[in-house]
Structure 1
């Protein structure tokens, strides 16, 4: 994983975990979504991210999110390894598993700094 992306991913995951442990599920999930966009090109971070999304779904008692994250946990690493992760997809069960999305300006700037494509 590119060092710039890794640092940004870890920062978002750290913030998400802080919100998770404070039981601030929605805030945690927002940071997990940003981390997902950053980490989805690499199998291990991608899978870890979906594990935490599942944990938030369980915390919220959100059945749709729980089922969606279980499916994504099974597919995340494989998709990353095959280069099939849809760029910009935020990883939640409210978005199709293969649906690409626009990348937010702040995340796009991180990709540009890391000299990685944003599409």
Structure 2
């Protein structure tokens, strides 16, 4: 079993680029596109406990801001288990992290993100 501790440098850069874009769009109240970049950050960071947990924390805050009880409840559950699942490398690859998708559903990874995963 492989344990994940630290995100690779190029993935960390891409992850924080998505977080930055999320925050920019959130400030402009472009909520659908902001959420899209938050989902992308989740895909990139989901195999690493800190980044995975932080994406879910931002998703919880977004759900609270939107007064979306389904999202809030879903993110609380994900916050409780997500980091641990990342640490032991047991995450559903490609999952976008929102409460609108099943916790364990694998999803198709966008091509540009998939290319990052195959870069050393």
Q: TM-score of the superposition, structure 2-length normalised?
A: 0.90
Cα pair 1:43 1:80 within 8 Å, conserved: yes
1:101 to 90, 102, 107: 107
Counterpart secondary structure, 2:118? helix
Count of aligned pairs between the two proteins:
114
Instruction: Find out whether 1:15 has 2:21 as its counterpart.
Output: yes
CA distance in 2: counterparts of 1:38 and 1:70, whole angstroms: 20
C-alpha deviation, 1:56, in angstroms: 1.0
Instruction: Find out whether 1:52 has 2:58 as its counterpart.
Output: yes
CA distance in 2: counterparts of 1:53 and 1:79, whole angstroms: 18
2:69 to 63, 70, 74: 63
Residue ranges of structure 1 left out of the alignment (5+ in a row): 115-119
Instruction: Find out whether 1:110 has 2:110 as its counterpart.
Output: no
Residue ranges of structure 2 left out of the alignment (5+ in a row): 1-6
CA distance in 1: counterparts of 2:60 and 2:29, whole angstroms: 14
Report the aligned-residue RMSD: 1.0
Q: Which is further off, 42-51 or 12-21?
A: 12-21
Q: What is residue 41 of structure 1 aligned with on the other side?
A: 47
1:2 to 8, 12, 19: 8
Cα pair 1:28 1:56 within 8 Å, conserved: no
